[in-house]
Structure 1
Amino acid sequence: MRRIWNAIGLLIIMVSMAIFLLYVVPTIDDIFTTSTLKQEDVPIPTELHPKVEEAKQTLIQRAEAKDITIVITDGHRTEAEQDELYQQGRSEPGNIVTYASGGESYHNYGLAIDFALRVDNGEVVWDMQRDGNGNGESDWMEVVAIAKDLGFEWGGDWTSFKDYPHLQMDFGLTIRELKYGERPEIEGYAANDEE
């Protein structure tokens, strides 16, 4: 008889857990997602944010003033381009260069650029030790210092996946917020219509 009561008790617990998982957990998730972040029909930007574009041009000029030539190897990326890059090192040959799939990168929202150095013979390099201007400092780190001064966050400072060519301006917005339609406020950029 005791086994029957234990089985009934276990059944009641399992049914209660199932009800909790089916009805309560989705409601909790809805509270944290839909009430704080509502998916908006906001267009995905198709170019760099104007402030990022301006900072990019200033970065190129300030680096040139230090006798460092940089090349912007990437700026805005479509979600399809991001997905293609994400496949590298996974289903496609090559090394893994990103952990962000389409819609998960600041590049997709026009808020990030990647750079490299151009050497005298025209070759593009990602040499972080190079001191082409001969001032005793790494050209790469001189560019990073200029970028940080302009308000960029550097991917080399990240604690997990280090992305040394990556510079971004997130304007205080997370990828999740961007996916739900939030945009930095500025004229001429894909902005939330309610703002």
Structure 2
Amino acid sequence: MKLTRLGKWVFASIIILIPVLLYLNSTENERLKKVPMPTGLDKNVAEKADLLVSEAARKGIRVVITDEFRSADAQDRLFAKGRTEPGDVVTHARGGESYHNYGLAIDFAIASRESGNLLWDMDYDGNGNSRSDWKEVVAIAKTLGFEWGGDWKQFKDYPHLQMTYGLTINDLQTGLRPSINGQPTQVSMRNKIYKFFRNIASI
């Protein structure tokens, strides 16, 4: 099959640009690897967590944030439970593999109206409106932009709420971070390469 003039131009452009894009990707990855790990909860996530507590309180539900930022070392200790340490398995994420490690996740519980004890009972109806307090809290969280671990297809994590901002764990591990307004600081070179070839394919 003979290539048209446009086809030849596109083919030549791809041959020239592939090594350039690969080089830019490798240099970007090296630069991003130097980005330090977060040391606390993301500002936007913290604000939304406070809103979650206050909005739930208006419905007569006392939400308690039981976990938020978690260092990679703390994550490894948690991962060891049920494996090399006594206890039940509570996570499948090692250090650096959880959104908690990047300040982008929180865990919550509900305080009993009667005793004040923390509950992880998804059927508890403390405010007496014939609805699960837990599900009411989850509904509020979703309106605030949180993703709920109870929606996961595997290893459901019912107390877990996170904001990914479209960033995967791999993105975070390579150094990408959300900015103050909740958007990724930049588009990764990998995504730029994908976009480039999608555009080429549409010609």
Report the TM-score, using the length of structure 1 for normalisation.
0.77
Task: For 1:1-195, list aligned pairs within 5 A.
Answer: 35=26, 38-39=29-30, 40=32, 41-120=34-113, 121-186=115-180
Could you report, residue by residue, the CA deviation over 1:7-43 in whole angstroms, capped at 9, with x for unpaired residues? Answer: xxxxxxxxxxxxxxxxxxxxxxxx6xx5496142111
8 Å Cα contact 1:37/1:177 also seen in 2: no
Report the 3-state secondary structure (helix = DSSP H, G, I; strand = E; otherwise coil) of the residue aligned with 1:90.
Answer: coil
Aligned mates of 1:156, 1:164 — CA distance in 2: 4
Q: 1:172 to 1:36 in 2, by over 3 A?
A: farther
Report the 3-state secondary structure (helix = DSSP H, G, I; strand = E; otherwise coil) of the residue aligned with 1:38.
Answer: helix
Report the TM-score, using the length of structure 2 for normalisation.
0.74
Q: 1:126 to 1:45 in 2, by over 3 A?
A: same
| Structure 2 unaligned regions, length at least 5 | 1-21, 187-203
Aligned mates of 1:181, 1:44 — CA distance in 2: 8
Identity of aligned residues (%): 57
Counterpart residue type for residue 165 of structure 1: P
Higher alpha-carbon deviation: 34-43 or 48-57:
34-43
Aligned mates of 2:125, 2:161 — CA distance in 1: 21
How many residue pairs get aligned? The number is: 159
Computing the radius of gyration from Cα coordinates, the structure with the larger value is 1
Note the aligned Cα RMSD (angstroms): 2.0
Counterpart residue type for residue 101 of structure 1: R
